[in-house]
Amino acid sequence: MGSSSSKTISAGLAIAESDRKVDPASSKTGTRSAWFRRLLANPVTVISLIVIGIAVIMALFAPLIAPQSPTFADPFVRLQGPSVDHLLGTDDLGRDVFSRLVYGARISLIIGIGVTVAAGILGSIFGLVAGYVDVLDPYIMRTMDGLMAFPSILLAIAIMASLGPSTFNVFLALTVVYTPTIARLVRSTTLVIRQQPYVESARVVGMSDSHIMGKYIFPNGLSPLIVQCTFVVAFAIISEASLSFLGAGVPPQQPTWGNMLRDGQSLMQQAWWMAVFPGTVLFVMVLAMNLVGDGLRDVLDPRSQQR
Amino acid sequence: MIAYIVRRLVSLIPVMLIVGVVVFGLVHLTPGDPAGVILGDRATAEDVDRLRDQLGLNDPLPVQFINWISGVVRLDFGESVFLGEPVTQALLDRVVPTTLLTFYALIIQLAIGIPLGVFAAVNRGSLVDRALTAVAISGAAIPTFFLGIMLILVFGVKLQWLPAIGYVQPTEDFSAHFVRMLMPAFSLGFSSAGLLARMVRSSMLDVLQDDYIRTAFAKGLARRRVVVGHALRNAFIPAITVIGTSIAALLGGAVVTETVFTIPGMGRLVVQSIARRDYPIIQGAVMVIALAYVLVNLVVDILYVYADPRIRVG
């Protein structure tokens, strides 16, 4: 599953790492517009980007797009199927499913992007330091190994059980879950890049370690990191939905795709639309994110391409 | 080989220690007094004190940790706050459904993933190959619980071919057990099957270009024997690692799938324990599943080294 998540990431990573060699020259900034053009040459990537764009617009302009408030309950239109008045039907409290879907995009995107940025920053710091400072390497990486010894959704559930349900706690828990995967990736690219002659020269010239890490190593290992981050967005979105579905995520009164699926499952016999629409939107969003990741990998990191 | 296994076992010690610290620390993440949180607002100060005592919360933190971890080593996770029985007993009662579900899902993953991967590689670039890749990519994106819900909706509610939810013990009535596990196992195994199919496909493509495959064809072996007997045997080795990581993913996914299909396993117990604030149960279950996960990966690594002697040196 998706919750299955970071294990799938690391599996994909293992495939990618086996035949990747970091070539510092290929990621020079001068070629930026060239790779962007190559990215847009792939129709699958373009369609996926459009899908993600629609989700972003839904999240940003939710009050303008949603026909009514996501929490407005009209007792006279409970459990109605899709119609002109209610495009995707209504739920058991008479709330408009489409409006709730539009607002649900907010939580999914906030969690997906927030977790990726936080885990990306923390994981990069840990990975850079572990890969560059040999004394700290075993301590940092054993800790990361320890955190990766849990199935990711289980660790997230356990943290949520202690912190209690809230959107911020979901963000915290998933950041803890996904930081180690990033740290592992950044460490492995750091180990390769630190062998490069220009890093040696920088050291000889007398640059400080933090300067070398920030100015030389990190930018040159950016391509695989960006690719990995798009997958983390997808996994964070699935994980948030899983947590909310289990009742351990975002509080039930807030409209999220996971919460809607939770409500929908119990009423499946009477109202299929309550589960089918949020699930489909979730699936399409995650699929688009994964496909953008694949497209980015083909362009940024061609050597790791799987035929 | 034995030296390798010993080395790997030793390297597990720090990892499991960190796992222990994390699981122990979970209770102390709770805002406020865990005993007060467990019992809720209406509890008397006396009750809270008694529970603090039972959970050992009155001891200094290092003492608590030593007590807890020495219990864990003896597989004693304390008493469940809600069920009123030892955590170990509660987990033992629920370990079989979880194990069986993971095992069936693994079989489904192998039964779908390997043939599809081989078929796609042999017919590279064909319409079937592209369709399989598309299915594999979509499979990885569909959340297992949504796939489970859709299966229930179609086969349980609309067509009524399969019982929608519930669990029957295999010792009680095996065919009823089997029929009820079909949908959960499929929804759990499907997404990993896609990943495995892609991995098998790409390593088959590598192997099919090797000289010995050309030799096998040249000496007139049947296509089927070359593909299965020569190519797959070697292409399968890299796939072993994917199977290892996906068993882990299946274990995690089982937590969610059990809830969807109301299977009385460890995952469902964990999810039920969240609302009950039954921390000892959550700690025990998470610890056991993490241990199972680490051991599975160890076994897979050993199998990998066994299957490919070249790795042993490094």
Give the distance from residue B153's alpha carbon to the nearest chain A alpha carbon, in angstroms.
Answer: 7
Give the distance from residue B254's alpha carbon to the nearest chain A alpha carbon, in angstroms.
Answer: 9
Taking only residues 60 to 89 of chain B, the set having a beta carbon closer than 8 angstroms to any beta carbon of chain A reads none
Q: Looking at the partner chain, which of B147, B202, B249 has a beta carbon nearest the beta carbon of A151?
A: B249
CB B100, CB B170: distance < 8 Å: yes
Cβ contact, residue pair A153, B252, below 8 Å: yes
Taking only residues 199 to 228 of chain B, the set having a beta carbon closer than 8 angstroms to any beta carbon of chain A reads 199, 202, 205
* Count of C-beta atoms within a 10 Å radius of residue B12: 17
Cβ contact, residue pair A158, B142, below 8 Å: no
Is B237's Cβ below 8 Å from some Cβ in A? no
Which residues of chain B lie closer than 8 angstroms to A161, CB-CB? 26, 270, 273-274, 277, 279, 282
Give the distance from residue B278's alpha carbon to the nearest chain A alpha carbon, in angstroms.
Answer: 9
The reported pLDDT for the residue numbered B62 is 85
The reported pLDDT for the residue numbered A31 is 61
Tens-digit pLDDT profile for residues B43-101: 788 888 888 877 777 778 888 888 888 888 888 888 888 888 899 999 999 999 999 99
Q: Residue A303: pLDDT band by 50, 70, 90 thresholds?
A: low
To test the contact with chain A by mutation, choose from B145, B190, B298 the residue with the greatest count of A C-beta atoms within 10 A, namely: B145
Averaged over B242-250, what is the pLDDT?
81
Taking only residues 119 to 148 of chain A, the set having a beta carbon closer than 8 angstroms to any beta carbon of chain B reads 142-143, 145-147
Residues in chain A, overall count: 307
CB A141, CB A188: distance < 8 Å: no
Tens-digit pLDDT profile for residues A102-119: 999 999 999 999 999 999
A vs B: CB pairs below 8 A: 212
Cβ contact, residue pair A159, B29, below 8 Å: yes
Q: Residue A304: pLDDT band by 50, 70, 90 thresholds?
A: low
CA angle, B291 as apex, B285 and B293 as ends, to 5°? 100
Among residues B281, B283, B295, B304, the alpha carbon closest in space to that of B251 is found at: B295
Q: Looking at the partner chain, which of A8, A146, A275 has a beta carbon nearest the beta carbon of B22?
A: A146
Tens-digit pLDDT profile for residues B109-141: 999 888 888 888 888 888 888 888 888 888 888
Does residue A36 register a pLDDT over 90? no
Is B241's Cβ below 8 Å from some Cβ in A? yes
Average pLDDT, rounded, for chain A: 84
**A196: exposed, middle or buried (C-beta count within 10 Å: 0-12, 13-18, 19+)?**
middle
How far is CA B153 from each of CA A65, A93, A260, A276, B261, rounded to the nearest angstrom? Answer: 30, 21, 16, 9, 12
Higher pLDDT, A187 or B224: A187
Estimate the crossing angle of helix A167-193 against helix A137-148, to 10 degrees: 130
Q: Which residue on chain A is closest to B146 by alpha carbon?
A: A279
To test the contact with chain B by mutation, choose from A1, A289, A297 the residue with the greatest count of B C-beta atoms within 10 A, namely: A1
* Count of C-beta atoms within a 10 Å radius of residue B263: 22
Q: How far apart are CA A252 and CA A31, in angstroms?
A: 47
Q: How far apart are CA A98 and CA B288, in angstroms?
A: 41
Q: Looking at the partner chain, which of A3, A142, A272 has a beta carbon nearest the beta carbon of B153?
A: A272
Q: Which residue on chain A is closest to B273 by alpha carbon?
A: A161
The reported pLDDT for the residue numbered A302 is 66
Which residues of chain B lie closer than 8 angstroms to A52, CB-CB? none
Does residue B30 register a pLDDT over 50? yes
Taking only residues 92 to 151 of chain B, the set having a beta carbon closer than 8 angstroms to any beta carbon of chain A reads 137-138, 140-147, 149-150
Higher pLDDT, A167 or B237: A167
Which residues of chain A lie closer than 8 angstroms to B251, CB-CB? 151, 154
Tokens 């060239």: give the residue. Answer: A34
Among residues A193, A185, A188, the alpha carbon closest in space to that of A214 is found at: A193
Q: How far apart are CA A242 and CA A259, in angstroms?
A: 9
Among residues A154, A138, A185, the alpha carbon closest in space to that of B270 is found at: A154
Is A52's Cβ below 8 Å from some Cβ in B? no
The reported pLDDT for the residue numbered B311 is 62
Does residue A26 register a pLDDT over 60? no
Q: How far apart are CA B228 and CA B117, in angstroms?
A: 12
Does residue A32 register a pLDDT over 80? no
* Count of C-beta atoms within a 10 Å radius of residue A291: 23
Higher pLDDT, A72 or B309: A72
Asked which of A52-66, B89-103, B147-161, B233-247 is least confident by mean pLDDT, the reply is B233-247
The reported pLDDT for the residue numbered B56 is 76
Tens-digit pLDDT profile for residues A113-157: 999 999 999 999 999 999 999 999 989 998 998 898 888 899 999
Which residues of chain B lie closer than 8 angstroms to A269, CB-CB? 157
Averaged over B286-306, what is the pLDDT?
86
Cβ contact, residue pair B289, A159, below 8 Å: no
Among residues B145, B164, B169, B44, the alpha carbon closest in space to that of B96 is found at: B169
Does residue A295 register a pLDDT over 90? no
The reported pLDDT for the residue numbered A215 is 87
Asked which of A25-39, A85-99, A273-287 is least confident by mean pLDDT, the reply is A25-39
